[in-house]
Amino acid sequence: MKHLIASSILLVFLLIPSLALTKISDSHPLDGSVGTQSIHVNAFRGMVSIQDSNVLSEWDGILDYKNGLLAAKLFDKMACVLVRMDQTAFPTLDDISKALGQKDLKHYPSTQGLTYNVLPSRVKDLAQYGIPVKDMCHEFPTYFAHQQKEGTALAIDPDSCFEIQLLSFMGLSICGEIPGF
């Protein structure tokens, strides 16, 4: 009996880490545009990586849930932008994992309407935000952006904004008057 209990406990300790290492990946055609979006979820690292090949607004991104950061490399702007994720506005890692396994994404809460304003000063030390962010943004000038609070009336030139969509339930605008924007 002792051997059965010991082997059961050992099996649990071996299986739990392998389940946490599960990686979920999927590609989705983008609604209303030409391109696809590839999304990879690494639950163990608390990361979601996105490659959006939309010819009108190509971007790569990382949702780093452990550090609460979104990093987006905006190819046509030749810039990288870092955003602190508002945990109440962004979908959870579980929401994204579940959405990748389903065809109907309409029941997930929409974050359409989030607007982030880019700050004019460049980020000097990318290493402090982790290796994935550093690796993704090292070729482009990198800036921080702060969420515009709902109801605040800031004059934003709509031509200065870059629209980001994650699946069909998350959309946000990154706006700012910096070189290249």
Distance CA 76, CA 157 (A): 17
Name the pLDDT band for 65 (thresholds 50, 70, 90).
very high
pLDDT of residue 172: 82
Confidence (pLDDT) at 11: 39
* Confidence grade of residue 15 (pLDDT, cut at 50, 70, 90): very low
Which pLDDT score is estimated for 62?
Answer: 95
**Domain positions in the chain:** 23-175
Q: Which of 65-74, 101-110, 150-159 has the lowest mean pLDDT?
A: 101-110
pLDDT confidence of 79, banded at 50, 70, 90?
very high
Whether the pLDDT of residue 52 is over 70: the answer is yes
For the chain, what is the mean pLDDT? 76
Beta bridge partners of 115: 173
- Name the CA dihedral angle for 51, 129, 69, 95, rounded to a multiple of 10 degrees: 60
Q: What is the pTM of this model?
A: 0.76
Query: What digits encode the pLDDT tens for the residues 119-172?
Result: 988 999 999 999 999 999 999 999 999 988 765 545 566 677 888 877 666 788
Span 14-29, mean pLDDT? 49
The predicted structure's pLDDT at residue 10: 41
pLDDT tens digits, one per residue of 31-50: 555 668 888 999 889 999 99
Distance CA 27, CA 141 (A): 28
